[in-house]
Structure 1
Amino acid sequence: MKKYKKVLLVCAIAAVLLLLGWYFLNREYKYFMRSAYPLKYTDIVAKEATANHLDPAMVYSVMKAESNFNPDAKSRAGAIGLMQLTPDTFDWVQTKLKSSEKYTEEDLYTPEINIRYGCKLLSILFDKYSKQATALSAYNAGIGTVNSWLKNPDISKDGVVLDNIPFEETRSYVDVVLKNYENYKKTYQFNSKGENMNDDETWQGRSQKNVG
């Protein structure tokens, strides 16, 4: 009888240790994922994602792929800021937003302006193209380029889906953004206002350094 009780006690201790191990591993995994896929400029993203009917997870995914949240980023092609807009694209999107204020290239370094117009561009592209990969290809390669691909039966059989993406850079870009998107969707839960809903105090405290 004593031997039986000892076995039960050992099994109970083992079960508790396994549960504790699972708890701490799960907690550290969440911390790792939130460190690898941070939320920055949250107030601006929530506002602009909601205004443009975008999934905030997609906005963060694009921003991470484009600049890794560096507002001063500038590419060799001249794309600027968090969402990497070129001055020409910026000027074009300004005609769509019809703001009373005319912004210059230097304004693209301002996070609020860059995210506002980057989200507007994403919204235009997601309205224009029914497939995420096609819209993201246009964000990277341009609308004219993607439209020409869709007219090519060797690239798109139905004129809607890109069966292959000819540019390696664009193909890699789309893969990265969609992978980011998958991980952001797994890691966070957003409400209808674009706000993250599953942060407890510990995670909020640990992520303060991620606020832009």
Structure 2
Amino acid sequence: MRIKKIMTAIAGIMIVLGLNAVATAIDNPEVYTKDLPEPVPVAQLETNNHIDKMAKRYGLNPDIVKALIEEESGWLSSAEGDNGESVGLMQIQEHWHKERMKRLGVTNLYDPEQNITVGCDILSELLNKYGNYKDALSAYNSGNIHDGRQYAESILNAAK
């Protein structure tokens, strides 16, 4: 008898909480919705040739840089991954690259051109270290040359 009363009380509380959540969602939809970011106008990046300029500056294949951007962010400059730690077109983790950003004068990884500059700098360093795109892309993705193999192959196939 006592358990039945407790269960009835708990069910009542759950109903009230559920109705409260629905009312909150109706009154404040911004709490439950987030506008989807607009893709970076690829034409804008192509018009000013930033990707090609950075690829040339760093000795990279621009098609690989573009395939990497497609894979990492789908061309969304506001993309976030790894619980918000990886940001922007090339999914840069600021905490690993603060010194690099300072050296390059980069202050905003959500800015497409700044993000591409940092990403190309990273990829170039990895390419110089490993001597080939497969290992460099593996390390870009996973931090080592073994765990990112499938990722690297996907980027290289997309760049063809």
Q: Same fold (TM over 0.5)?
A: yes
> Quick one: which of 58, 62, 76 aligns to 1:56?
62
> Quick one: which of 173, 177, 202 aligns to 2:151?
173
Map 1:24-173 to 2 at 5 A: 40=43, 41-42=45-46, 43-77=49-83, 78-94=85-101, 98-99=103-104, 101=105, 103=107, 107-142=108-143, 145-146=144-145, 165=146, 167=147, 170-173=148-151
Query: Cα distance, 1:91 vs. partner?
Result: 1.2
Q: Distance in 2 between matches of 1:89 and 1:172?
A: 23
Query: Cα distance, 1:52 vs. partner?
Result: 0.9
Query: Cα distance, 1:71 vs. partner?
Result: 0.5
Q: Compared with structure 1, are the counterparts of its residues 92 and 139 closer, same or farther at alpha carbon in structure 2 (3 Å cutoff)? A: farther
Aligned partner of 1:14 in structure 2 is none
Unpaired segments ≥5 residues, structure 2: 1-41
Task: Give the structure-2-normalised TM-score.
Answer: 0.65
Query: Cα distance, 1:173 vs. partner?
Result: 1.4
Unpaired segments ≥5 residues, structure 1: 1-38, 147-164, 183-212
Q: Distance in 2 between matches of 1:66 and 1:138?
A: 14
Q: Distance in 1 between matches of 2:69 and 2:106?
A: 24
Amino acid aligned to 1:173: Y
Partner deviation per Cα, 1:141-176 (whole Å, 9 max, x = no partner): 12xx44xxxxxxxxxxxxxxxxxx3x3xx2331121
Amino acid aligned to 2:95: D
Secondary structure of 1:109's match? coil
Higher relative contact order (CA 8 A, sep 6+): 1
Amino acid aligned to 1:65: E
Contact 2:89 2:112 survives alignment (8 Å) = yes
Contact 2:141 2:151 survives alignment (8 Å) = yes
Aligned partner of 2:27 in structure 1 is none
Q: Distance in 1 between matches of 2:87 and 2:152?
A: 19
Partner deviation per Cα, 1:128-148 (whole Å, 9 max, x = no partner): 111221111110112xx44xx
Contact 2:78 2:88 survives alignment (8 Å) = yes
Root mean square deviation of aligned Cα = 2.1
Hey, which bits of structure 1, 4+ residues long, moved more than 6 A?
Answer: none
Amino acid aligned to 2:72: E
Amino acid aligned to 1:91: K
